[in-house]
Chains A and B, each alone.
Chain A
Protein backbone atom coordinates (compact mmCIF):
# COMPACT_ATOMS: atom_id res chain seq x y z
CA UNK A 1 0.00 0.00 0.00
CA UNK A 2 1.54 3.32 -1.01
CA UNK A 3 2.11 6.06 1.51
CA UNK A 4 -0.46 8.84 1.63
CA UNK A 5 0.30 11.81 -0.58
CA UNK A 6 2.68 14.41 0.70
CA UNK A 7 1.12 17.66 -0.46
CA UNK A 8 3.14 20.84 -0.05
CA UNK A 9 0.89 21.77 2.87
CA UNK A 10 2.19 18.79 4.86
CA UNK A 11 5.92 19.41 4.39
CA UNK A 12 7.97 22.16 6.03
CA UNK A 13 11.74 22.16 5.68
CA UNK A 14 14.45 23.74 7.80
CA UNK A 15 11.98 25.15 10.30
CA UNK A 16 12.97 26.82 13.54
CA UNK A 17 11.75 25.21 16.77
CA UNK A 18 13.01 26.14 20.22
CA UNK A 19 12.21 22.76 21.74
CA UNK A 20 10.38 19.47 21.11
CA UNK A 21 7.02 20.93 22.11
CA UNK A 22 7.32 23.61 19.49
CA UNK A 23 8.38 21.03 16.90
CA UNK A 24 5.35 18.84 17.69
CA UNK A 25 3.08 21.90 17.60
CA UNK A 26 4.42 22.72 14.16
CA UNK A 27 3.88 19.23 12.79
CA UNK A 28 0.41 19.24 14.39
CA UNK A 29 -0.34 22.53 12.65
CA UNK A 30 0.58 20.94 9.31
CA UNK A 31 -1.85 18.07 9.92
CA UNK A 32 -4.63 20.37 11.15
CA UNK A 33 -4.00 23.11 8.60
CA UNK A 34 -4.25 20.64 5.73
CA UNK A 35 -7.53 19.20 6.98
CA UNK A 36 -6.28 15.84 8.24
CA UNK A 37 -7.01 16.48 11.91
CA UNK A 38 -8.79 18.83 14.28
CA UNK A 39 -6.41 21.11 16.17
CA UNK A 40 -6.92 19.05 19.36
CA UNK A 41 -4.94 16.17 17.86
CA UNK A 42 -1.77 18.24 18.31
CA UNK A 43 -2.27 18.39 22.05
CA UNK A 44 -2.88 14.63 22.16
CA UNK A 45 0.49 14.04 20.46
CA UNK A 46 2.14 16.28 23.06
CA UNK A 47 0.28 14.54 25.92
CA UNK A 48 1.59 11.12 24.83
CA UNK A 49 5.16 12.39 25.08
CA UNK A 50 4.49 14.13 28.41
CA UNK A 51 3.05 10.91 29.78
CA UNK A 52 5.41 8.30 28.34
CA UNK A 53 8.58 10.22 27.48
CA UNK A 54 10.53 10.47 24.28
CA UNK A 55 9.82 6.97 22.96
CA UNK A 56 8.55 8.59 19.76
CA UNK A 57 12.22 9.17 18.88
CA UNK A 58 12.43 5.78 17.21
CA UNK A 59 15.77 6.17 15.45
CA UNK A 60 18.75 8.54 15.67
CA UNK A 61 17.52 11.99 14.64
CA UNK A 62 13.94 10.90 13.88
CA UNK A 63 10.75 11.45 15.88
CA UNK A 64 7.44 9.87 14.87
CA UNK A 65 4.87 12.13 16.51
CA UNK A 66 1.52 10.36 16.76
CA UNK A 67 -1.43 9.60 19.01
CA UNK A 68 -4.24 7.07 19.04
CA UNK A 69 -6.97 7.19 16.41
CA UNK A 70 -9.83 9.45 17.54
CA UNK A 71 -12.73 11.65 16.49
CA UNK A 72 -10.23 14.44 15.88
CA UNK A 73 -8.63 12.53 12.98
CA UNK A 74 -10.44 13.13 9.67
CA UNK A 75 -8.15 11.17 7.36
CA UNK A 76 -5.02 9.05 7.46
CA UNK A 77 -2.15 11.42 6.92
CA UNK A 78 1.58 11.85 7.10
CA UNK A 79 3.42 15.16 7.50
CA UNK A 80 7.13 15.94 7.46
CA UNK A 81 8.96 18.68 9.35
CA UNK A 82 12.71 19.15 9.27
CA UNK A 83 14.51 21.43 11.67
CA UNK A 84 17.23 23.93 10.97
CA UNK A 85 18.62 23.32 14.45
CA UNK A 86 17.94 19.86 15.89
CA UNK A 87 16.07 19.73 19.21
CA UNK A 88 16.30 17.30 22.10
CA UNK A 89 13.27 15.20 23.03
CA UNK A 90 14.94 13.52 25.98
CA UNK A 91 15.76 10.15 24.39
CA UNK A 92 18.85 8.51 25.89
CA UNK A 93 20.35 7.46 22.53
CA UNK A 94 18.54 9.00 19.59
CA UNK A 95 18.64 12.73 20.37
CA UNK A 96 18.91 15.31 18.91
CA UNK A 97 16.07 15.20 16.40
CA UNK A 98 16.24 16.91 13.03
CA UNK A 99 13.36 15.11 11.26
CA UNK A 100 9.84 14.92 12.70
CA UNK A 101 7.17 12.81 11.05
CA UNK A 102 3.57 13.48 12.04
CA UNK A 103 1.22 10.54 11.77
CA UNK A 104 -2.57 10.63 12.04
CA UNK A 105 -4.64 7.49 11.59
CA UNK A 106 -8.40 7.02 11.58
CA UNK A 107 -8.38 3.43 12.86
CA UNK A 108 -5.80 1.09 14.36
CA UNK A 109 -5.93 -1.04 11.23
CA UNK A 110 -6.03 1.53 8.46
CA UNK A 111 -2.36 2.39 8.52
CA UNK A 112 -0.82 -1.07 8.76
CA UNK A 113 0.02 -1.13 5.05
CA UNK A 114 1.83 2.15 4.97
CA UNK A 115 3.61 1.57 8.22
CA UNK A 116 5.32 -1.23 6.31
CA UNK A 117 6.17 1.33 3.66
CA UNK A 118 7.60 3.70 6.30
CA UNK A 119 9.71 0.84 7.62
CA UNK A 120 10.97 0.11 4.11
CA UNK A 121 11.93 3.76 3.63
CA UNK A 122 13.78 4.09 6.93
CA UNK A 123 15.44 0.70 6.96
CA UNK A 124 17.75 2.48 4.54
CA UNK A 125 20.10 4.36 6.90
CA UNK A 126 20.54 7.20 4.40
CA UNK A 127 16.85 8.19 4.61
CA UNK A 128 17.09 10.36 7.74
CA UNK A 129 20.19 12.32 6.65
CA UNK A 130 18.67 12.79 3.18
CA UNK A 131 15.45 14.16 4.69
CA UNK A 132 17.37 16.39 7.10
CA UNK A 133 19.34 17.82 4.16
CA UNK A 134 16.37 18.19 1.79
CA UNK A 135 15.66 21.68 0.53
CA UNK A 136 12.65 20.93 -1.70
CA UNK A 137 9.43 18.98 -1.26
CA UNK A 138 10.32 16.85 -4.27
CA UNK A 139 13.54 15.75 -2.54
CA UNK A 140 11.39 14.66 0.41
CA UNK A 141 8.99 12.80 -1.88
CA UNK A 142 11.96 11.08 -3.51
CA UNK A 143 13.13 9.75 -0.13
CA UNK A 144 9.65 8.30 0.38
CA UNK A 145 9.85 6.71 -3.04
CA UNK A 146 7.24 9.00 -4.58
CA UNK A 147 7.62 10.60 -7.94
CA UNK A 148 7.88 14.38 -8.05
CA UNK A 149 4.41 15.71 -8.65
CA UNK A 150 2.78 18.91 -9.67
CA UNK A 151 1.01 20.70 -6.89
CA UNK A 152 -2.22 18.93 -6.09
CA UNK A 153 -5.52 20.67 -5.76
CA UNK A 154 -6.31 20.87 -2.08
CA UNK A 155 -9.35 18.62 -1.92
Chain B
Protein backbone atom coordinates (compact mmCIF):
# COMPACT_ATOMS: atom_id res chain seq x y z
CA UNK B 1 0.00 0.00 0.00
CA UNK B 2 1.40 3.36 -1.03
CA UNK B 3 -0.03 6.76 -0.19
CA UNK B 4 1.24 10.03 -1.64
CA UNK B 5 0.65 13.35 0.14
CA UNK B 6 0.78 16.17 -2.37
CA UNK B 7 1.36 19.89 -2.18
CA UNK B 8 2.51 22.56 -4.62
CA UNK B 9 6.13 22.50 -3.48
CA UNK B 10 6.70 19.06 -1.94
CA UNK B 11 7.91 20.57 1.32
CA UNK B 12 6.00 22.04 4.22
CA UNK B 13 2.33 21.26 3.87
CA UNK B 14 2.77 17.86 2.20
CA UNK B 15 5.28 16.89 4.90
CA UNK B 16 2.74 17.78 7.59
CA UNK B 17 0.05 15.83 5.76
CA UNK B 18 2.36 12.80 5.43
CA UNK B 19 3.17 12.84 9.12
CA UNK B 20 -0.43 13.10 10.27
CA UNK B 21 -1.49 10.44 7.75
CA UNK B 22 1.05 8.11 9.35
CA UNK B 23 -0.44 8.88 12.74
CA UNK B 24 -3.94 8.16 11.41
CA UNK B 25 -2.77 4.85 9.90
CA UNK B 26 -1.33 3.90 13.25
CA UNK B 27 -4.71 4.55 14.85
CA UNK B 28 -6.30 2.34 12.22
CA UNK B 29 -3.62 -0.30 12.67
CA UNK B 30 -2.96 -0.21 8.93
CA UNK B 31 0.42 -0.51 7.25
CA UNK B 32 1.24 1.77 4.35
CA UNK B 33 4.15 3.68 2.93
CA UNK B 34 3.40 7.40 2.92
CA UNK B 35 5.51 9.78 0.88
CA UNK B 36 5.34 13.54 0.40
CA UNK B 37 5.59 14.99 -3.07
CA UNK B 38 4.76 17.91 -5.28
CA UNK B 39 2.24 18.25 -8.07
CA UNK B 40 4.89 18.30 -10.79
CA UNK B 41 6.42 14.94 -9.90
CA UNK B 42 3.05 13.37 -9.16
CA UNK B 43 2.88 11.26 -12.29
CA UNK B 44 6.06 9.46 -11.22
CA UNK B 45 5.59 9.34 -7.46
CA UNK B 46 1.96 8.29 -7.63
CA UNK B 47 2.20 5.87 -10.55
CA UNK B 48 1.92 2.92 -8.17
CA UNK B 49 0.05 4.64 -5.34
CA UNK B 50 -3.36 3.52 -4.13
CA UNK B 51 -4.24 6.81 -2.47
CA UNK B 52 -3.40 10.47 -3.11
CA UNK B 53 -3.96 12.77 -0.16
CA UNK B 54 -4.34 16.44 -0.93
CA UNK B 55 -6.03 19.79 -0.39
CA UNK B 56 -9.37 20.63 -2.05
CA UNK B 57 -7.49 23.37 -3.91
CA UNK B 58 -5.13 20.94 -5.64
CA UNK B 59 -7.61 18.33 -6.86
CA UNK B 60 -8.02 19.94 -10.29
CA UNK B 61 -4.23 19.87 -10.80
CA UNK B 62 -3.89 16.15 -10.24
CA UNK B 63 -4.96 14.98 -13.67
CA UNK B 64 -5.46 11.39 -14.65
CA UNK B 65 -4.81 8.80 -11.97
CA UNK B 66 -5.90 5.35 -10.90
CA UNK B 67 -5.41 6.23 -7.25
CA UNK B 68 -8.20 7.21 -4.89
CA UNK B 69 -8.00 10.96 -4.39
CA UNK B 70 -8.75 11.76 -0.75
CA UNK B 71 -9.33 15.44 0.02
CA UNK B 72 -8.30 16.71 3.43
CA UNK B 73 -9.63 20.06 4.69
CA UNK B 74 -7.84 20.31 8.02
CA UNK B 75 -4.34 18.79 7.93
CA UNK B 76 -4.15 18.77 11.72
CA UNK B 77 -7.45 17.03 12.35
CA UNK B 78 -6.52 13.41 13.01
CA UNK B 79 -10.20 12.47 13.29
CA UNK B 80 -10.85 13.73 9.73
CA UNK B 81 -7.74 12.00 8.39
CA UNK B 82 -8.53 8.75 10.15
CA UNK B 83 -12.13 8.68 8.97
CA UNK B 84 -11.28 9.48 5.35
CA UNK B 85 -8.37 7.07 5.18
CA UNK B 86 -10.48 4.33 6.69
CA UNK B 87 -13.16 4.92 4.08
CA UNK B 88 -10.56 4.81 1.29
CA UNK B 89 -8.51 1.79 2.33
CA UNK B 90 -9.95 0.30 5.53
Q: Which of B25-33, B50-58, B82-90 forms contacts with chain A? A: B50-58
Total A-B residue contacts, Cβ distance less than 8 Å: 86
Instruction: Please state if B15 and A115 are interface contacts (CB–CB under 8 Å).
Output: yes
Q: Which of B10, B13, B15, B78 contacts A55 (CB 8 A)?
A: B13
Residues of B in contact, count (CB < 8 Å): 26
Tell me if A74 is interfacial: C-beta within 8 Å of chain B. Answer: no
**Which A residues are in CB contact (< 8 Å) with B20?**
119, 123
Q: A48 to B8, alpha carbons, bound, how many Å? A: 7
**Helix, strand, loop or mixed for chain A's interface?**
mixed
Q: Which of A54, A60, A64, A115 contacts B57 (CB 8 A)?
A: A54
Residue of chain A at shortest CB distance from B61: A52
Instruction: Please state if B56 and A123 are interface contacts (CB–CB under 8 Å).
Output: no
**Which B residues are in CB contact (< 8 Å) with A67?**
9
B80 shortest CB reach to chain A, Å: 10
Q: A69 to B54, alpha carbons, bound, how many Å? A: 20
Tell me if A14 is interfacial: C-beta within 8 Å of chain B. Answer: no
Instruction: Please state if A119 and B74 are interface contacts (CB–CB under 8 Å).
Output: no
